[in-house]
Structures are given as structure tokens and as C-alpha cells.
Amino acid sequence: MNPPQTVLDLVEHFRRNADDLRSNRYNETELRREFLDPFFEALGWDVNNRLRYSETYKDVVHEPTRETEQGIPDYCFRVGGTPKFYLEAKKAVGASERQSRSCLATSALRLVF
């Protein structure tokens, strides 16, 4: 199965603009809005609550109040109101491509299931 075109476009956008995206000028909020939100939307998550579910049943809660072992995450992904995993967004400032991949792998391991 091929990845959604949106995901391929995000990867290409990052490749073309990697130096700027790793700079101090680019912040975590921009990372979430420009990369993470579209990525999870492409995977089928209703990141912006377009279906207008009540707070109890939203697919994605931004900056939920529940604290995990790693602190308060940026996202809580839910199905039927039940949390399935949490995600903390961190950008790799000034990191090399290898360091960025390592940071991504470490972040993935921090997901709480």
C-alpha cells in the first residue's frame, strides 16, 4: 500500500526546506500546524473536529489536561472518546538528517498506548 499523496508532499516539502525548518525561526506550533496536523488528517484522524463531535467524543484533543509520565502531551488521539495514544511534538533544531531520524524514532517510542 502506498502512502497518501499528502504524506509524500509533506516529505518533499521538508526535504526542500530542511535548513529553514531546523532553524530557530521555525517553532513547534508551526511544526504542528504545517506537518503533524496534515499528516494525521491524511491518515484519517479528524484533527480539527470537522465532524463537530462533542468534547467527549472528539478524535483528537489538542494539549489535553491529562498528564502522562512524560508530561502534558500536545495531542491525545481517541476512538469513541477512549484515549488510544498521546503525542508530544518536538522539532529538531539544527539537527543533521541522521539526528533528526534519531529524534523521530525516540519520539515514536514515547507514544503512550
**Amino acid in the structure at residue 81:** G
How many degrees, rounded to 5, is the angle at CA 43 between CA 33 and CA 34? 15
Work out how many domains the chain is built from and give that number: 1
> Which structural domain range is residue 23 located in?
5-109
**pLDDT at 105 > cutoff 50:** no
**pLDDT at 91 > cutoff 60:** yes
Please say whether the beta carbons of 53 and 46 come within 8 A: yes
Stronger pLDDT, 39 or 94, i.e. the higher one = 39
Question: Model-level pTM?
Answer: 0.78
Summarised one tens digit per residue, pLDDT across range 38-52 is: 999 999 999 999 999
User: Nearest Cα to 88, choosing from 63, 113, 65, 66?
Assistant: 63
